Structure 1
Amino acid sequence: MVISEIALPSLIEIAQQTRVAAGKLAVLSTEARNNALEAIAKALEASKLEILAANEADLRVAEADNIAPALYARLKLGESKLQAAIAGVRDVAKLDDPVGVNQIHRELDEGLILKRVTCPLGVLGIIFEARPEALIQITSLAIKSGNGVILKGGREAINSCQVLTKVIRRALDSTEIDSDVVQLLTTREEIKQLLELDQYVDLIIPRGSNSFVRYVQDHTRIPVLGHADGICHLYLDSAAEINKAINITVDAKTHYPAACNAIETLLVHQDIAEEFLPQIATALEAEGVQLRGDEATRKIINATPANEHDWKTEYSDLILAIKIVDSLETAIAHINQYGSKHTDGIITEDRQAAVMFQDRVDAAGVYHNCSTRFADGFRYGFGAEVGISTQQMPPRGPVGLEGLVTYKYKVTGNGHIAATYTGSDAKPFTHIDY
C-alpha cells in the first residue's frame, strides 16, 4: 500500500488563509480580542519550560556557529525577558481599542453624514532576526488591532519561534479567533516570496541588521515600516551637570548595547571636555567599553583613533566613538549629518539649549537629560511595539497599536446625489461637525 504525502500549503495559500482569518478578526468585539490575549498570556506561562528549552537549543547552535555577540544577546530569551513579554501581552489587552474609533463625524448636509472610522490594516508580514520575544509582542499587537500576521524569524531562532507559534495558535483555538491569523514561515526562500505577495500582505515590518532591512526595502512593492540604522547620539552641553551626564552616558551605552536605542557616538562640548572626559572614560571603561576618539579627544584620554567610518557605524556592542565639538550648533549639524533619525539626546541644565536641540535635531526621538534607552514601545506605555520607524511620514518612533490601523470614510445619505451641489443653483454644504 502506498501512503501519499500530505501536501503542505503554498505561501500564497497561507497568505489567503491569513487574510480570511484576519477579516473575521477585524469584526470581533474588543472583549473577544482581549480574551484571546489573556489566553495567550496564560498559555505562555504554562509553557515556560518548553519555550526556554527551545531557546537554549537555539543558543547552543548559535555558540557553535560563533554568531556575533550582539546577535547572540538579542537571541537569548531567558526567564526575565519571557516574563516581560508576557506582561506586555496583558498590557496590550489593557490599552484602548484602536479599531472603530470615530475620528471625524460631520454633517455634509441634512441627512448626509460623513464618518472617518479606524479599521485594521489587514495582514502584516513581519521579518525579524533573533529576538524571540518580538514574536510575542508583534502577535499581541496584531490581534488587539484586528490584523493577521505572517511571521518569519531568523534561522538562529527557529526552535524558539516554532514553539512560541505553536503555543499561541493552540491558545487561540480555545477562543473566538481563528488561529490562522498567526502564521510562521521557516525558510529563507520564503522571504523573497513573502515580499512579492502585495495582493495579500498590506505592510512589511523588518527587524534586523542594516543590510537586511535595506534588502527588504529594495525588494518589495508592499509598504515597509522600519529603520535600517540605529546610530544614536548623546551630546554633553557646556551646561551639563557632571554626575547626571556620567550616569546617563553609561546607561545609554551599556544597559543593553545590542539595542538599536543604545548610543554609538558621544559629543562633548570643548568647554567641559578636560573635566568630563577623564571621569566619563573611567566610568565607561569600568563597564568594558572600548573608546574611539577624534584627535582632540585623544589629547585628553586614551582612545583608539576615530575616523569618518566611526561616525557612520552602529556598533551594537561595547564600543563608543567620542568627538569634541565647539558649540551646540556643531553638535546638531553632526547629528543631522550622521544620525539615523532614531533617537538623540542632550545633557544640559540650559533650558534654551535643550529647546534648540529638541527643535532642530531631526530624529524620531529627541531627549533632554535622560537615557536614549527609553525609546521603546513598552516604556512609552504602548504595551509593546512592532518596531521603530525612522521615516518622516507617520507612524514614527516606537510603533504600537496606532501604527497598525488605518481608516475608512463612511458616508450615509437618504437619496442624496452630487448633482444637487453643482451648477448655478447648487445647494451649499452645511459641514457641521459633531
Structure 2
Amino acid sequence: MLIDRFDRNKKYRVVIYVRMSTKMQNERSPDQQIERIKELIHRLQLPWEVVAIYRGDGISGRSSRKRLDFQQMLKDLKSGKVQAELILVDSFERFSRADNNHEIRSKLARQGIKILTADSNFENPDSVPGKALSFVESFRATEEGRIKAHNVLRGKHDAVRLGHWPGGSAPFGYRLKNIMTLRKGVEEIDYRTIEPIPEHKGIILKIFESAAHENLGASRICRKLNKDPEIPEDLKPFSISSIDSFLQNELYYGEMIWGKYCYGIVDDVRVRQPVPEQDWVRNENFCEPIVDKALWDLAAKNRAARRLKNNDSNDQSKNGCRPNMPHARGIALKYPLSGLVICSSCGRSMVATSGAKYKTISGEIRNYVSYRCPARFADECDNHFSIPEEWLRETVFDLIRQQLFSISQ
C-alpha cells in the first residue's frame, strides 16, 4: 500500500480557484473567496506559495467545458506551464457541481495535484477523514444543485400560474413591466409581467399574416422583413431562427405554455429533453395578445403542412438511401468539413447544400454540393459565394498531407 506523504507544513506551490455562479450574485464574492483562502493560509502559518489565481465570474459549476478559466487552469497544470501541487478553493461547490467530480479529482491526483478546501481547514483528501470528506463534498455539490434546481422550478411554475414573468428576457414585441410593492416603508419590485411594445406590434402581425395568408416560410418572411423600408434599421437584420421561434411562441396570442423541455448537463454537454404534455404549465390569459388565436393557428397549420411535405420528399429520396439513418453525435457522415468552414463576412459556420441531380455526358448521376453561408438566404449576410464541396475537401486534405509529410521528413 502506498503511504500518504502529504505534509501541510511542506513548502507547496498552490493555485487558487474561485467562482461565482451568476452575475446576479455579489460581485465581490470571488474576491472574498480569495481573501478568505489567503487569510486561512496566514492564520494556519502554512509555508505555501501562491503561484496563480484563476477566477470564473458568473459561470455555472455544472459544466466544465464552458468555464474557460477552469479549463485554462487544468491546461496550465497539465502542461507544466504552472507548476503546483495543490488547488485551493473556498468550498468544493466553487470548484465543480458536475456529475464527474470524482473523475476530475482522480485525474488531478494522477498528476500529483490535490484539491483542498478552506471550509475544511485544508484537510488532506488522501487521509481517512479526508476521503470521507471528499465523498461528502462531491455528493453535496451535485445534490445541492439538484435541490436548488427543484426549488427554482417550483417557483417558476407558481409564477406562470399567477401571470408573473418567470425570468429571462421578454420575447420580441414585448417588454417587461415592474409591479411595485411597499415593504417596510421601501418601494421595491414585487414581480414582473410583460406588455406589448406598440411600435413592434405591426412587425409581429406582418410575420403571422405572411405565414398564414401568404403561406411563407421563415426564410422568405425573413427576407421580406429585412427589405421592408417601414421597419427601422436598428431592428434589422432578422434571422431565420428568430422568425421560426416567433411563429412557435404561444405568447403572441396571450397564452403561456411553460416547461415543454427540461435541460441538463450530460458528459459536459447541455442536453434538451422533451417533457410530457401533462406536465406542462399553462396560463391561457397570461398576457395581452398581439395576434388573434385564429391567425396563429392558421400560421401553425401552414407550417405543419410544409414540414410534412418536406419530410415526405426526404423519405422518398431517389438515391435509395435509408431516410432515417441514425447519426452519431459529433460525426459528419457525409461532409467532413461541416462546421469548420467559416463565413468571412459574418463568422457563421457555412453549410453544405445540395443542388438538383443531373446526368453527366458519360451517363453518371451526380449532384452539385457547395458550402454557402446560411445567413444569405435571409439577406442577413452579403456573402453570396458558393464554395464547391469536393474541391474544398480535396484542397484541404492535400494541404494536410503536405504538412504531415513535411513534418515526418
Measured against the shorter chain, the TM-score band is under 0.3
RCO comparison, higher one (Cα < 8 Å, 6+): 1
Q: Which has the larger radius of gyration?
A: 2
Q: TM-score, normalization: structure 2? A: 0.24
Q: TM-score, normalization: structure 1? A: 0.23
